């Protein structure tokens, strides 16, 4: 138990509040006192870059006013915890000018310097902010991020930090992701990007992007595994009590389907019929009969206005209703019947395809925070 308490005390060494202030000061995380490991894998190209000079792997977290605190703390804890098991990461906070920054919570953070004054780092993490999906990234912030991104061995963003990388031109022509709520906006801002809204994190060469704030932990674990292999990373995940790799994508966390209404009154009548009674007979022929049009014409309307098929639209409505019913405490069988699925098995297949989990697993994760 004393060892466990010591481990917990160590976990808070990543940041501490100076007495009488609201500053958070980063700490250096030495590798001494860590547990020995045997059979360590050969270093990756990224780790090897640091090993050439015999130095630690330098991780710089790029921060600025309005930054999300958890985007910083989550990944930093992963790298710090990895040091306990044999890694040698050195973590620093860098701001555009070297001035301290204030987070979205109003907490003032002391930084280690300016990005322009530091030599090239092994890993650059760009934290996110609620500001920049709603507003354009200032040119000076994008320019400041572009400097270290050009020289870092690998570059990563946490959540909406992808907007900063996009403004800096780092994501041009690459696959990327961000929080599901603003993935469409990222695609608008970076038209040459291939945005993958359901991904927890995406790697494109040496550029990485991740989804919502806690996905920064998933990404950091992936980076540690790239450097040190799965065994050490598994120890880190266990120590932090997180999944080494969570099942499914962002869809399992997103809100029910809320797309724009159809433009044409005819198609709007059809979607109203489906949403008003998901349990009804909504076969292609039956829906076409509602409008007295051919099935081919109805299929074309759905494709042109909603970019889907009538059958897939009905399935999505039933799927969203089933999720809501599960959230309310209905059993999986009840949810399947009330949502209009022909059987529980047909609902299970839809959940597996969309979320990569079963309805029962979804309900366990999202139905309640109470232990059962």
Q: Which of 52, 62, 276 is nearest to 148 (CA)?
A: 62
Helix (H) / strand (E) element for 17: namely strand 15-17
Query: Can you say whether the dihedral through the CA atoms of 268, 273, 276, 277 is positive or negative?
Result: negative
How many Cβ atoms from other residues are within 10 Å of residue 30's Cβ? 12
Exposure string for 50-78, b = 16+ CB within 10 A, e = fewer:
beeeeebbbbbbbbbbebbbbbbbbbbbb
Joined together, the tokens standing for residue 250 give 């962002």
Q: Is 193 a catalytic residue?
A: no
Distance from C-alpha of 355 to C-alpha of 343, rounded to nearest angstrom: 18
Q: Which of 3, 2, 143 is nearest to 64 (CA)?
A: 143
* Torsions phi, psi for 245 (to 5 deg): -150, 115
Query: Can you say whether the dihedral through the CA atoms of 42, 48, 53, 57 is positive or negative?
Result: negative
Helix (H) / strand (E) element for 155: namely strand 154-157
Helix (H, G, I), strand (E, B) or coil at 294: coil
Place of tokens 């090897």: 48
Place of tokens 């300016």: 114
Catalytic residue among 63, 111, 127, 159: 159
Total number of residues shown for the chain:
372
Place of tokens 């650059």: 124
From residue 203, how far is each of 177, 234, 355 by CA, in Å?
9, 20, 20
How many Cβ atoms from other residues are within 10 Å of residue 285's Cβ? 11
Q: Would you please indicate which residues are annotated as catalytic (active-site) residues?
A: 159
């Amino acid at each position: 138990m004393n060892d466990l308490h010591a481990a917990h005390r160590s976990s808070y060494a990543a940041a501490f509040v100076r007495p009488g202030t609201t500053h958070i000061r980063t700490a250096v995380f030495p590798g001494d006192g860590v547990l020995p490991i045997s059979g360590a894998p050969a270093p990756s190209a990224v780790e090897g870059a640091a090993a050439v000079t015999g130095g630690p792997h330098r991780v710089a977290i790029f921060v600025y006013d309005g930054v999300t605190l958890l985007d910083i703390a989550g990944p930093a804890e992963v790298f710090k915890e990895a040091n306990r098991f044999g890694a040698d990461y050195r973590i620093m906070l860098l701001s555009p000018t070297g001035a301290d920054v204030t987070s979205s919570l109003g907490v003032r953070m002391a930084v280690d310097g300016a990005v322009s004054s530091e030599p090239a780092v092994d890993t650059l993490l760009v934290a996110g902010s609620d500001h920049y999906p709603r507003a354009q990234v200032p040119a000076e912030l994008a320019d400041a991020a572009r400097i270290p991104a050009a020289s870092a061995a690998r570059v990563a963003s946490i959540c909406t930090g992808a907007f900063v990388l996009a403004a800096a031109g780092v994501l041009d022509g690459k696959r990327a992701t961000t929080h599901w709520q603003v993935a469409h906006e990222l695609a608008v801002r970076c038209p040459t990007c291939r945005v993958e809204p359901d991904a927890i994190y995406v790697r494109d060469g040496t550029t990485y992007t991740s989804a919502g704030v806690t996905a920064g932990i998933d990404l950091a674990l992936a980076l540690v595994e790239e450097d040190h292999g799965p065994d050490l990373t598994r120890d880190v995940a266990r120590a932090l009590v997180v999944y080494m790799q969570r099942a499914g994508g962002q869809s399992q966390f997103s809100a029910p389907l809320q797309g724009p209404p159809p433009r044409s009154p005819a198609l709007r009548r059809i979607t109203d019929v489906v949403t008003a009674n998901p349990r009804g007979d909504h076969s292609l022929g039956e829906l076409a009969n509602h409008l007295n049009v051919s099935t081919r014409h109805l299929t074309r309307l759905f494709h042109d206005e909603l970019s889907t098929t009538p059958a897939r639209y009905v399935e999505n409505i039933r799927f969203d209703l089933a999720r809501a019913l599960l959230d309310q405490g209905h059993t999986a069988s009840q949810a399947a019947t009330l949502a209009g699925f022909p059987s529980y098995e047909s609902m299970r297949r839809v959940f597996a395809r969309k979320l990569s989990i079963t309805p029962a697993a979804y309900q366990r994760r999202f139905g309640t925070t109470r232990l059962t």
